[in-house]
Structure formats: C-alpha cells, structure tokens
C-alpha cells in the first residue's frame, strides 16, 4: 500500500511539472532586434535624379523675334557640317543622294527614299557605326530601323532642341519636277522626288540655291523620317520660326534671311533651275537685328 501510494505521488508530480512546461509561451523577441529589423527594412531614400541640362537663354527662339548671334553661330556650324557631308557624298557618287537607278531598293513606290536623307549622310558625319545598323531597303519605322531613331546625332539637333528629343528642325524642300513653258522638265528643289540632283543641275548657281533650312519647332520631325517641306507654300511650311531663318546654300555657305518675304522670293531661293540671281544684300539680316 505504501509503495502504491508513493508511485501515485511520483506520477502526479511528473504531470504537474510536464504540463506547465509544455504550455509556456515563447520568449518575446528582443526589442533591440526588432528595431534593427525595422531600420534595415525601411525603404531607402530615393536617389536624386539628375536634372535635365537647361538650354541657355541665348539659344532659345521665339516666333517672330530676332535670332541671337550666339544661336545663329551654333546653328550655322551645324548647317555647315551638313553641307560638307552633302558635298562629300556628291564627290563620291556625283549626286547629292543615292540614285534610284543604282539603288532601287532604297526607294518606295512614290520615288521617295525609305529613310531620310539625313541617314544617308551618316558616313560623312563620322557616324558610320550607326549608319551600318540601318536597313536602307526598309521603311524608316520598320522593326529594325525604328529603335535607331533614339540615336540622333548632335549635328541634327537645333541649339534649343530638348535633350531627349529625336526630332530635327533641319529640313529640305522636296518637290516633283515640273514642265516649263517649252515642255522641258525642271527641278523645283535640289531634292526632287525620284532622281536626285547633281551640282550641274543647279542652273542658277550653287550660291543662289538653298539646300537646307532650319524650320520652326512645330515642323520638327523624327530625324530618320523621309519627306520634305512643300515648295508650293514655303512660308507656311517654315512654321513658327524666329523672324530670321538660317539657311544652307548649295555652295556650303550659310545665311540668315528675313522670314517675312514673299512666297515668290522663297521659291527663287529654293528653285535651282529658274535662272534667278538672288540679291542677298536685300534679304540677309544680322543676328538680333530688328526689322
């Protein structure tokens, strides 16, 4: 009996010790550890984004306002580079652009290059690696060519072009050949549809014929996109420019001319075969000059 009671007592003692120990709560997490975890998991401060470079005030233009000397110098240097590239291409091919006869695959059914003339100038602007990425027999917005538009060379950016823009204001007038009074075809611009122009096609003389113009910001287009301004209405096609417009002549020289001319005067500058001699003294202006 004594032994039996002792065994029962031992069993009760074991139950009393075991059950509470199994129901004990886990110790609370160390408060210092929780604080450290909170600090570690806190979102990091957002890295400061670099500010977009601001355009110098003297490089900005306003519609109808004169152009500053600094801006004309900057735009003029770019036009000179473009002119030199056009002449170097001509030296190699005898034309200002690839011909449809030699490169029919470069042209669409309307006689227009599938990519802009600006793309074809790349090898002559120290941009051959970029040039070699283009498929010249595909449209400018093809899956291969479209992504390349983001790589616009600086030479095609006007002095006040936004940094991340792929649109250019350096444009050409593009037109069809027309028949004159004697039934002979004549070019209305140095960039006719179909067969490109040669130097000897400028019957007015290279120094009296305009090649490239800096149009207004509202006339900016993707630099790889083909197509030009309409020579039938030149002033409207120039867009919202300053009161003075920078142009590149066929001989590679540049001029700053009044925008507010007659359409007929602009057509005389654009047309290479109308046998006109431009009086530059009458239409040229100095940068910043009020008219």
Mean pLDDT on 192-196: 91
Residues 153, 163: Cα–Cα separation, whole Å: 11
pLDDT at residue number 49: 56
| Angle in degrees, CA 270, 275, 277, rounded to 5 | 75
pTM attached to this predicted model? 0.80
pLDDT tens readout for residues 60-70: 878 888 999 99
pLDDT tens readout for residues 114-169: 999 999 999 999 999 999 999 999 999 999 999 999 999 999 999 999 989 999 99
Q: How many other C-beta atoms are found inside a 10 Å radius of the C-beta of residue 62?
A: 11
Q: What is the dihedral of CA 166, 167, 169, 172, to 10 degrees?
A: 100
Residues 6+ apart with CB under 8 A from 235: 259, 261, 263, 266
- Closest C-alpha to 209, from 228, 231, 233, 184: 231
pLDDT tens readout for residues 14-49: 544 444 444 444 444 444 444 444 444 545 555 555
**Nearest 5°: phi and psi at 76?**
-65, -40
Total residues belonging to the chain: 291
Residues 6+ apart with CB under 8 A from 178: 185, 186, 188
pLDDT at residue number 78: 98
pLDDT at residue number 73: 96
Is the confidence at residue 11, as pLDDT, over 90? no
Q: End-to-end CA distance of the chain: give it in Å, rounded.
A: 131
Instruction: Retrieve residue 165's tokens.
Output: 């823009």
Classify 186 as helix, strand or coil: strand
pLDDT at residue number 242: 92
pLDDT at residue number 27: 45
Residues 210, 190: Cα–Cα separation, whole Å: 8
Mean pLDDT on 190-214: 94
Instruction: Retrieve residue 192's tokens.
Output: 């006719």
pLDDT at residue number 287: 85
Q: Bridge-partner residues for 100, per DSSP?
A: none
**Taking all residues of the chain, what is their mean pLDDT, rounded to a whole number?**
85
Residues 174, 140: Cα–Cα separation, whole Å: 17
Residues 88, 93: Cα–Cα separation, whole Å: 9
- Closest C-alpha to 90, from 199, 250, 208: 199
CB 259 within 8 A of CB 243: yes
- pLDDT-derived band at 281, boundaries 50, 70, 90: very high
Mean pLDDT on 207-233: 96
The radius of gyration of the chain from alpha carbons, rounded to an integer in Å, stands at 36
């Amino acid at each position: 009996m004594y032994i039996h009671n002792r065994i029962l007592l031992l069993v009760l003692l074991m139950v009393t010790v075991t059950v509470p120990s199994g129901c004990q709560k886990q110790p609370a997490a160390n408060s210092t550890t929780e604080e450290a975890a909170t600090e570690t998991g806190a979102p990091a401060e957002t890295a400061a984004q670099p500010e977009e470079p601001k355009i110098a005030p003297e490089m900005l233009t306003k519609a109808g306002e004169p152009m500053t000397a600094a801006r004309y110098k900057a735009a003029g240097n770019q036009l000179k580079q473009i002119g030199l590239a056009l002449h170097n291409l001509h030296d190699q091919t005898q034309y200002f652009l690839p011909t449809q006869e030699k490169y029919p695959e470069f042209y669409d059914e309307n006689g227009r290059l599938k990519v802009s003339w600006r793309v074809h100038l790349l090898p002559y602007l120290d941009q051959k690696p970029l040039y070699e990425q283009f498929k010249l027999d595909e449209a400018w917005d093809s899956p291969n060519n479209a992504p390349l538009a983001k790589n616009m060379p600086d030479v095609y950016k006007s002095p006040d072009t936004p940094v991340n823009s792929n649109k250019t204001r350096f444009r050409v007038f593009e037109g069809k050949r027309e028949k004159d009074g004697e039934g002979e075809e004549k070019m209305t611009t140095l960039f006719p549809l179909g067969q490109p122009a040669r130097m000897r096609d400028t019957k007015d003389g290279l120094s009296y014929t305009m090649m490239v113009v800096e149009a207004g910001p509202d006339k900016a287009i993707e630099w790889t996109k083909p197509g030009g301004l309409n020579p039938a209405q030149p002033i409207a096609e120039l867009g919202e420019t300053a009161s003075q417009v920078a142009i590149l002549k066929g001989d590679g020289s540049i001029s700053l001319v009044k925008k507010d001319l007659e359409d007929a005067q602009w057509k005389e500058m654009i047309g290479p075969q109308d046998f006109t001699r431009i009086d530059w003294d009458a239409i040229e202006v100095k940068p910043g000059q009020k008219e």
